[in-house]
């Protein structure tokens, strides 16, 4: 158990809908990262937050957004969902950034029908 929690574990929804994925980092970790894992794209970095501020953006679509709250938990919002958004979404956390090890949560499996 990495200490990173993600909810829900599974999410099934329809095209065009909006969902919110939640992540609680390890106690004491200030950085939260979001990743998407799909069969065709592999593991893709989406976005990084540090202590409430956005630090880096990767391959994140405009339909997706995230935020990190004062209690350091983070939410990833996915809107206007398409079939191709079906994937595993992982959250990871680290103490600070850069050289720190990232610890991954168990993931949320999103299925868009």
Applying CB under 8 A, which residues contact another protein? Answer: 2, 4, 33, 35, 42-43, 45, 48, 55-56, 58, 90, 92, 97-99, 101-107
Instruction: Please identify, using beta-carbon distances, which residue of 17 and 59 lies nearer to another protein.
Output: 59
Q: Shortest Cβ distance from residue 89 to another protein (Å)?
A: 11
Instruction: Please identify, using beta-carbon distances, which residue of 79 and 109 lies nearer to another protein.
Output: 109
Q: Shortest Cβ distance from residue 100 to another protein (Å)?
A: 9
The strand pairing partners of 90, in sequence order, are 35
Instruction: Please identify, using beta-carbon distances, which residue of 27 and 99 lies nearer to another protein.
Output: 99
Distance CA 98, CA 90 (A): 18
Distance CA 90, CA 99 (A): 19
- 99 Cβ contact partners less than 8 Å away, ≥ 6 residues apart: none
* Nearest of 53, 57, 64 to residue 89 by alpha carbon: 64
Instruction: Please identify, using beta-carbon distances, which residue of 23 and 112 lies nearer to another protein.
Output: 23
CB 31 within 8 A of CB 46: no
Name residue, tokens 């095209």. Answer: 15
């Amino acid at each position: 158990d990495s200490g990173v929690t993600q909810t829900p574990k599974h999410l099934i929804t329809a095209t065009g809908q909006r969902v919110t994925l939640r992540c609680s980092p390890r106690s004491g970790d200030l950085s939260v990262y979001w990743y998407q894992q799909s069969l065709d794209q592999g593991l893709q970095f989406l976005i990084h937050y540090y202590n409430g501020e956005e630090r880096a953006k990767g391959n994140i679509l405009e339909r997706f957004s995230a935020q990190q709250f004062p209690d350091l938990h983070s939410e990833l919002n996915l809107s206007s969902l398409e079939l191709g958004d079906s994937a595993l979404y992982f959250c990871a956390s680290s103490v600070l950034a850069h050289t720190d090890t990232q610890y991954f949560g168990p993931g949320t499996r999103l299925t868009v029908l």
